[in-house]
Structure 1
């Protein structure tokens, strides 16, 4: 999955596969986190969120 860089203090990049509804987060530490069954709307919400780490914590938990 191709990831795109994002502006965040704790996240480095994010990728999304609409075919499998998989969201992939690359943390600045190098750790990768994958979330299953993530809607396109949630992915777009993450990209638009001013605080991406807080969005992940509150929405994807």
Structure 2
């Protein structure tokens, strides 16, 4: 079991917060960079949620 598998909920929670911190460090006027950073840090929790959904074992529910 890797780091991502054992901390997936924490990553889903704090990746957007990390993305906001990165966006705050981008200089003013770099709107395209801010949009790309925001899109990436919004997409990563979605990817993790899909991974979590497929890894869920319904027989144990």
Verify same fold: TM over 0.5.
no
Structure showing greater radius of gyration is: 2
TM-score under structure 2 length normalisation: 0.28
Output the TM-score relative to the length of structure 1.
0.28
**Could you say which structure has the higher helix fraction?**
2
Structure with the larger strand share? 1
